[in-house]
Structure 1
């Protein structure tokens, strides 16, 4: 009998090692993808952006500023730098670089935005209505908050900036997207996603009743706040996938011009945003395992927002084993239910506080 128990225990351990751990890692920490992304070396796939207009949020950040420079070096016509901070320094750096290379300087507009409020996003939408064309929108703006705070709108700040405000900007700019004559592809709206969604997913369970968004926003300092960046990005990915699906339906009905909506994963890098993780052992080890040069991350984002129509609804990645697939928890039936709930609750919040977005939702209801 003892021998049988020992054999059973050994068999259980073997099963756990052979099946349980790989399943756990695939769900919460697919390290092979992180490794392959670190080794990825993407190059810019579009030779020229001549005549096109590009808008970048988070343009003062490590990825956004480098992406702006990539577009400028490839003959973009108009570059709109959007950030909570003044992007005058980014503009000056780009102009100096182009002057040194004796290249034409694009029209560079600097728009400041308060992404802690819906009013700040509305102001951006008003400014964008004056644009004659809008080929590429790259939404890189985001925050990494280690202490819980609330925005003036009453949401935890990561949920406010990384999800709600970014989603709202996407909705406000969607009807304005229009390719320039020299652009052979539909205009592209790109949200930024992250590997951090995977380890954060186990804290994203949906409540049986009450607001799902409020449950994730009404978090506590500690473990929940440590996962708040990934959770807010998980909400954004739900939203982006639902938006892409609805855009497809609206286009099929002829109520919306052809637009590509996707998400792009730039990978991780040590930047002013992530540097506080240097003092935290586990986050530092994970970052060191996957981190790559910010210029490579920016290149991946530029390629994502320059994609052709077949990238619609996909996650754009740049490394050899990338499958453009969604995380396992989003693929299951429960993930589809969570996505519908995120969309409905987000719509309710926006239509209550941002009246002009109601028309966009109605257009997407077909």
Structure 2
């Protein structure tokens, strides 16, 4: 719905459902970033419950990833769980992670769940504002680096022409971003400036809007490339997991927020159900999934101006990422 009343209504009346018991993921490999905590961990557990053969957790702190691995395997001992280091604030770490992905024999499901939410400006070691670095640039680079292995798997392992899957976690808050930076000559450079950092959740909201725009443009380009060259199918979408009582909100100390979350927030497991539904069940290419159905994103995203910003954001992002990974467009098959 996009408005506050619609948001509150959905939080109170909708109950996310787990994957149907009939779904069997035997033989498949999944990768989840941020899979050691919160919604990512719950999504990992639920995939493992459905017979997943191999699960890769991309985590910043290996010890926490190993604890998550042990928790998942106690519940689903037949699922092989491996932990790979991934620092979303380091392009070198992301490149090393991508190289390991490239060497995988198969990869069926990717959920890019790692993200941050902060109320104060912080510059990442890369020089970019932290939300732009983690939620947009790192996530975008990862989405490109996993494409070749997803494509290979779709071509060689997928039965009945079923697609491999890439899901990026976004949020309904993209409806609420004011996004004045859209008019800047260089949007991402403007967003890196401390003077552009708005009050409250504004920067987080904007980063989730960037996720939606990236999903739509990436999906268009992947689908067009596959149609031209006969590659195996990759289904790409973005998911709103709803407001959930997770560690994402640990820095949000505004008075009353914790009480609000106790009333309206879903459990992390329910949020995890939204993630795996988008990554396994939903079939709309480039879709925005909310309350476990495909929905229309914000009016801005669907507007002519939104379309122009979407393409401009793509070009700016690829310009930055091409300096990090030369030839990233060719490497990803775009």
Instruction: Mark yes or no: TM-score above 0.5.
Output: yes
Cα distance per residue 1:39-62 (max 9 Å; x no partner): 322221362110000000001120
Asked whether 1:267 is paired with 2:242, we answer yes
Post-superposition offset of 1:83: 1.1
1:338 is matched with 309
The answer as to 2:157 corresponding to 1:186 is: no
C-alpha distance in structure 1 between counterparts of 2:196 and 2:214, whole Å: 25
Q: 2:231 aligns with which of 246, 256, 265?
A: 256
Aligned equivalents of 1:325 and 1:111: distance in 2? 35
CA change 1:324–1:260 in 2 (3 A) is same
Residues matched between the structures, number: 326
Q: Contact 2:128–2:192 at 8 Å: present in 1 too? A: yes
Superposition CA RMSD, Å = 2.2
Distance in 2, matches of 1:255 and 1:218, equals: 42
Q: Distance in 1 between matches of 2:205 and 2:127?
A: 20
Moved over 6 A (4+): none
How many Å separate the matches in 2 of 1:350 and 1:84? 21
Pairing partner for 1:93 from 71, 89, 95: 71
Normalising by structure 1, we get a TM-score of: 0.83
Gaps of 5+ in 2: none
Q: CA deviation at 1:305?
A: 0.6
Post-superposition CA distance 1:3-26 (Å, at most 9, x none): xxxxxxxxxxxxxxxxxxxxxxx6
Summarize the Cα distance change of 1:255–1:120 in structure 2 as closer, same or farther, 3 Å threshold. farther
- Give, in angstroms, the shift of residue 33 of structure 1: 4.0
Alignment correspondent of 1:195: 172
String of CA shifts for 1:43-87, please: whole Å, max 9, x gaps. Answer: 213621100000000011201111111111111111001111220
The higher radius of gyration belongs to 1
TM-score (norm. length: structure 2): 0.90
1:188 touches 1:307 (CA, 8 Å); kept in 2?
no
CA-CA distance at 1:196 after TM superposition: 1.7
Distance 2:145 2:208 in 1: 19
5+ residue gaps, structure 1, are 1-25, 99-103
Residue 311 of structure 1 aligns to a residue in which SS? coil
- Match in the other structure for 1:12: none
**1:22-33 equivalences in 2 (<5 Å):** 29-33=3-7
